[in-house]
Amino acid sequence: MKNRLLTERAVREEGPARPAARGKTRPVRSVTVNLAESPLGWLKARGLISARQFDAGEQLRGDWERANLPPVVTMRWDAAPMGRGARGPSDPAAATEVQLVARRRFETAVAAAGSGLADILWRIVCAGEGMREAEQALGWPARAGRLVLSLALDRLADHYRIG
């Protein structure tokens, strides 16, 4: 399974700083995400899918991530106890509501795509599998995945009313 490549780089020393433990400061770090590393971004960059199809796929992936459906590898780091001045929602149930609504949107969108197209949508858009891996996992011939994915993304764009 291929995932997006995240690279971390430090900001110049004279850049903004955050307070750290014991009054020390450390430089702020940023994360750069290469959108062309996603299978959907790769297809769009090469003109194999339209901007409309790409936007539909990104909206589906956003709902999938907001619903907290990606697999958890080890433990939940966000479950730390809340102290004074801690960040996070003031109402712990609010995050759950957002997840439930996003899950409902995700399930509705996948159902709108159709049962035969949901597998390729999930594999390419959500799981980040490459086209070759998805075709092999589904037992499809080479080059069949792109056509089926295009149909699925068109239905998804219709569902999301993306013009």
For residues 35 and 139, which has the higher predicted lDDT (pLDDT)?
139
Question: Residue 15 has what pLDDT?
Answer: 47
State pLDDT tens for residues 141-161: 988 999 999 999 999 999 999
Angle of the 92-113 helix axis to the 51-66 helix axis, nearest 10: 140
State pLDDT tens for residues 6-48: 444 444 444 455 555 566 666 666 666 565 678 999 999 999 9
Question: Residue 10 has what pLDDT?
Answer: 45
Q: What is the share, in percent, of the chain residues with pLDDT greater than 90?
A: 48
Mean pLDDT of 117-121: 93
Contacts of 148 (CB under 8 A, 6+ apart): 116, 117, 120, 140
Measured at the alpha carbon of residue 65, what is the angle toward residues 134 and 136, in degrees to the nearest 5? 5
Phi, psi at 105, each rounded to 5°: -65, -40
Q: What is the DSSP letter of 126?
A: I
Q: Which value, in Å, is the radius of gyration of the alpha carbons in the chain?
A: 19
Kindly list the domain boundaries of the chain, sorted by start residue.
36-70+91-160
Mean pLDDT of 77-93: 55
